[in-house]
Structure 1
């Protein structure tokens, strides 16, 4: 370690790192003081100490508040990672005191059959592992991964993500091909038809997720590609539980879902895949981890291995269901 780093370790405390994160989030000295239950003079003193330790201005002050300098932005990011790793260490210690062998923090979107199956496989191989699933939008989960709050994220490998500046800080592995699927009640007459095109389904009553989702955008594209206006769903729902429930309760409805959701609902019974062509691809699903972080834990390695093993099986089932 360099002399500069030794100096930094002696001068910089965890409270300083917390201050940097809170200042960036609140944007004002007053807001940071309130959040940390300190006086504004104490906040100012701590910020000066942090800037002296790092040898550079971290925030620019103005009447409107404070905002990070380029060096400050980098320092805030690293502070979040350190605090995230410390939180993970605390969680692991608590879990191990209760008998767990490891803690795995996974970020995922809410509609996935692969993650539950991989978690079960992981638990078979590491029976004492504790798994904590955090559901949400992939973009938000990726940021939490980069901040050290998550160990990995399972989500769509979108063009937006591939072209963003975040990618250089991520390791990604494509694991599951995905596509738009149509679900209907087993008693829906449409489900028994063959050689359906999207035009044939334009007049149907649809259940679909909101417009900002990848599934809804693919759904609209399917009809636009055929030269017709996309139908407006009679029910708009994000929850996989809600979509499955209404399809089973109302046989007249059709649902636009991703394959991950479709195979889960079909396995539950009461609904079937409605064959429709042409197929509409969705961005593939992959596992994201932080690039350049500490070596992956055994729990992360086993979780990734379980997902890879599922890939072959799901691909085969996808081929049979087309």
Structure 2
């Protein structure tokens, strides 16, 4: 009897493990994107800020100009929760480095402490929230260091990020607009008033928000930031539209500055823009039927994050937004 019970137990355990592995393979696993042929060099280094040591990776295209007359822009790419700079580099399909080679700018991938960022959200299940690290100072110090070492154009420093990195990008727009000319937040929205801890300065910055309507973590229509509404809670956020309106108001853009752009060839993209001559602009890019993450043609995101459209090319849209910002 004991042997029979043990046999059934082992069979059941084997089936359970096999099913679990199958679910993991279906919902979570995705192969790494192939590394493209690039002209430049990726270096890994550290920086000390407020007694903490941080790691970052810097990509500089071959023969990138260093003289002040032709100083190159710098694009900062921020990772999501549970990740580091190396992971967001691959999960964006090396898209920013492909563009860097073509358009002549540098890309930096900083890593946050505890694999996260201290953004504008008051609440959250993540370790970094309890530590109250000054990530704004860290990222500013990193930019200052890179400008001093490489001669990048200090008037064309931009930040983009996905998920927690997107939330941190929004904090940079609010608290450090004199350093970051524009930001692009992907899969991120502005926390509601009760969940908002940032102290915005008076000056604005150009802001793009790129969100998917089927995001399984950051609800497009606003609400609780959590996986399927249950796990990794990060408090309540405004809707994507309200988040864009928040920045339009912060940038003092008049009502008549709002306009809906014509649909591009990719029909799953909708864009609303607030632009007025001489002011910082705001753009809301809606990925229709898009999930959580940066849309791009190089890599399919895990199914657990929702649909992963191959269009539009998110890094290209972000760079086009940055490139049209006047110094």
- TM-score (structure 1 length as normaliser): 0.23
Greater share of residues in helix: 1
Bigger Rg, structure 1 or 2: 1
